[in-house]
Amino acid sequence: MNGALFGHTWRSQRIRLGLISLALLVWGGLLPFIYATFGSRFKSLLESGLMPAQFARFGGGDVFTLTGTVALSLIHPVPMILISVFAVGFSSYAIAGERQQGTLEVVLARPLDRRTFYVTLLLASFGFVAIAIAMLLGGTIIGSSLAGVLAELPLQRMPLVWLNGVLLFGAFATIGLAASSSFDRAAPALGWTLGIVIVMYVLEVLGSFWPDAAFLQPYSLFHYLRPKAVLTGAAEASDFALLAIVIVVAMVWAIAVFPRRDLAAPI
């Protein structure tokens, strides 16, 4: 890892990271209040049959239990978009964007090999994702405490939920960085990464709402984000392992491709 590059990357993202962390903290704190205030009413509504049962299965999350609420706080489009600013946006722009604007050659003219450059950006990406998810879960804990439902939250399992989230969004960040290291321009890197994330999200949500499409869910990485299962002690190590394998494969791709690529003059 290169300290100067790492520091520069963090400084360049600090305002964005601050704003997104704040938004996730608020979002994480909001859902326990919704659960505490409306959870039982939603449950009655669901049991009465007026609300489709599928609403209780959205990405494995719900607002009838606190563990389900934690799951919903991660899989909902709002945190998905916020965390994707780093997991997708930053990562896919990190190399291809610098290359496109011409600053990559100024940096790589220094005694910095491309592997170190890539690994530094990968660590920064993971750092951003890790902080973003920590803020979201921190908000959940604070919100649960303020709403008086903290006792229902198995706090000792929260680090595993965090790890599960970091592995999922870290996998997207690694895919984004692999794409970024493979293209000369940011648009195709962003397009590919965003496309993969959207398709996987649709597969997961479709499978959760429509039982006939449930067979599609295992093809989505979102399927291996299991906060509710983690909090109830029903999670499997294979879920974590699969996400880790995706990270390793994308890393190996980038480390193999980026140093061997020709970096012709920017157009």
Partner 1 sequence: MHAIETVGLTKRYRTIRALESLNIEVREGEIFGFLGPNGAGKSTTIRLLLGFLHPTAGQARVLGLDIVKDSVAIRRRLGYLPGGIALYDTLSGKQQLDYLTALNDRPPIRRAELCERLELSAGTLERRVRDYSRGMRQKIGIAQALQHDPDLAILDEPSEGLDPLMQRAFYGILETLKEAGRTIFFSSHVLSEVERVCDRVAIIRRGRLVAVEDIAGLLARRRRNVVMRFDGPPPRLDGVGGVSNIEARDGRLTCGIDGDIGPFLAAISDSRVTDLTIEPAHLEEVFLELYGGGGEADAV
Class of residue 15 by CB neighbours under 10 A (exposed 0-12, middle 13-18, buried 19+): exposed
Among 37, 40, 44, 103, interactor with partner 1 by CB under 8 A:
103
Q: Cα dist. 80→77, 222, 247 in Å?
A: 5, 10, 18
Instruction: Tell me how far the alpha carbon of residue 213 is from its chain's centroid.
Output: 23
Is 151 an interacting residue with respect to partner 1 (CB under 8 A)? no
Our CB check for partner 1 shows the closer of 8 and 76 to be 8
Among 45, 112, 216, 257, binds partner 1 (CB under 8 A): 112
Lookup: tokens for 231: 């909090």
Please report how close the Cβ of residue 101 comes to partner 1 at its closest, in angstroms. 5
Work out which of 105, 155, 199, 236 binds partner 1, going by CB under 8 A. 105
Coil/strand/helix, residue 61: strand
Any contact of residue 109 with partner 1 (CB under 8 A)? yes
Give the contacts of 70 (CB within 8 A, at least 6 positions apart): 31, 61, 137, 140, 153, 161, 227, 228, 231
Among the listed residues 20, 65, 94, the one whose alpha carbon sits nearest the alpha carbon of residue 254: 94
Nearer to partner 1, 40 or 103 (CB): 103
Binder among 101, 151, 155, 245 for partner 1 (CB under 8 A)? 101
CB of 14 to partner 1, least distance (A): 11
Binding site for partner 1 (CB under 8 A): 2-5, 7-8, 12, 101-103, 105-113, 260, 262-266
